[in-house]
């Protein structure tokens, strides 16, 4: 298979790419850091560097033309590139929200726009195979959590978009999926300063992703103990659920009182 992993210079994307390459597939790896991609490709057979910034349509068009020039049909695209910034202030931090949406949501849309023609062509060339378009969302979308207003909203938008797209392209034989990980140890989560329950290694997370994409499940979510807890919580009545979520906030009532006392 010919696979494109977008957001593959570190963490989950890099490990997914390595595992596919180890299984004999040809994997294009993309991220902004060209030097890092080149080093990774030199060290790992089957990985091909394809630097791109997904917020840049021209760069994406160039990357897609390089894949086209290879003359090989594209079988799978994994849109994994992402960033996370938490909201820490009582005032809504609009710049943070815009930055996160720009990469996680609009960046994903830019990739879809660039690759759909290639996936359609691939289906024409190999009618017996359904090319896959995979969005990496997050389990945070099952239940809104404190401080995750920017990140969670961007990933919820990705989930909604992916479900809509699936409904619209399934008749063409394009297999749209989403991946909703819990906490995975990566450079992204290394910045977190709070406990991360059921933290998985990238190796574990990537092998679950490969297994899931080889099966039929639309939403590949893990670890189940964590994702089912969030799904269960979201089903509770608001009068129980919302106070529980507020308890986990750093902005509790005592802080509010003390900050207004200083005003």
Ligand X SMILES: NC(=O)c1ccc[n+]([C@@H]2O[C@H](COP(=O)([O-])OP(=O)(O)OC[C@H]3O[C@@H](n4cnc5c(N)ncnc54)[C@H](OP(=O)(O)O)[C@@H]3O)[C@@H](O)[C@H]2O)c1
Query: Residue 45 class from Cβ within 10 Å (0-12 exposed, 13-18 middle, 19+ buried)?
Result: exposed
Residues 200-239, mask of contacts with ligand X (x by CB under 6 A): ----------------------------------------
| Residues 6+ positions from 98 with CB-CB distance below 8 Å | none
In this complex, which beta carbon is closest to ligand X, that of residue 123 or of residue 133? 133
Where b means 16+ CB within 10 Å and e means fewer, 246-263 reads: eeeeeeeeeeeeeeeeee
Figure out which of the listed residues 16, 21, 31, 157 binds ligand X, where binding follows CB under 6 A: 31
Stretch that binds ligand X, among 50-58, 60-68, 214-222, 227-235 (CB under 6 A): 50-58
Tell me the two tokens of residue 13: 């994307």
Using CB under 6 A, pick the residue from 53, 93, 163, 172 that binds ligand X.
53
Using rule CB under 6 A, residue 152 touches ligand X: no
Based on the shown chain and the rule CB under 6 A, indicate whether residue 12 belongs to the binding site for ligand X. yes
**How many residues of this chain interact with ligand X, rule: CB under 6 A?**
30
Three-state SS annotation for 75-88: CEEEECCCCCCCCC
Q: Binding of ligand X at residue 93 (CB under 6 A)?
A: no
Tokens of 106: 């609009």
Half-sphere exposure of 161 (CA within 13 A, CB side): 22
Question: Using the rule CB under 6 A, is 100 a contact of ligand X?
Answer: no
Q: Which of residues 119-148 bind ligand X (CB under 6 A)?
A: 136, 138
- Per-residue binding letters, 168-197, with ligand X (x by CB under 6 A): -------------x-xx-xxxx--------
- Rule CB under 6 A: say whether 54 interacts with ligand X: yes
- The answer to whether the beta carbons of residues 75 and 129 sit under 8 Å apart is yes
Q: Alpha-carbon distance 10 to 113, whole Å?
A: 24
Determine the 3-state secondary structure of 194 from DSSP.
Answer: coil
Instruction: Please report, as ranges, the residues that interact with ligand X according to CB under 6 A.
Output: 7-13, 31-33, 52-55, 80-84, 103, 107, 136, 138, 181, 183-184, 186-189
């Amino acid at each position: 298979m010919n696979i494109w992993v977008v957001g593959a210079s570190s963490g989950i994307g890099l490990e997914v790419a390595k595992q596919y390459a180890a299984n004999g597939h040809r994997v294009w790896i993309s991220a902004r850091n060209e030097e890092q991609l080149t080093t990774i490709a030199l060290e790992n057979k089957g990985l091909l560097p394809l630097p791109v910034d997904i917020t840049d349509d021209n760069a994406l068009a160039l990357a897609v033309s390089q894949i086209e020039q290879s003359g090989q049909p594209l079988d799978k695209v994994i849109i994994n590139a992402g960033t996370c910034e938490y909201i820490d202030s009582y005032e809504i931090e609009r710049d943070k929200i815009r930055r996160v949406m720009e990469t996680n949501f609009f960046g994903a849309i830019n990739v879809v726009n660039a690759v759909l023609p290639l996936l359609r062509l691939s289906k024409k060339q190999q009618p017996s195979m359904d090319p896959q378009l995979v969005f990496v969302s997050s389990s945070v979308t099952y239940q809104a959590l404190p401080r995750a207003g920017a990140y969670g909203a961007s990933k919820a938008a990705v989930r909604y978009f992916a479900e809509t797209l699936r409904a619209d392209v399934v008749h063409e034989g394009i297999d749209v999926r989403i991946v909703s990980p819990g906490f995975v140890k990566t450079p992204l989560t290394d910045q977190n300063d709070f406990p991360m329950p059921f933290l998985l290694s990238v190796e574990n997370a990537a092998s679950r992703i490969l297994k899931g994409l080889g099966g039929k499940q639309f939403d590949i979510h893990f670890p189940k103990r964590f994702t089912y807890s969030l799904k269960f919580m979201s089903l509770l009545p608001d009068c129980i659920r919302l106070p529980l979520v507020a308890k986990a906030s750093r902005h509790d009532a005592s802080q509010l009182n003390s900050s207004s006392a200083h005003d």
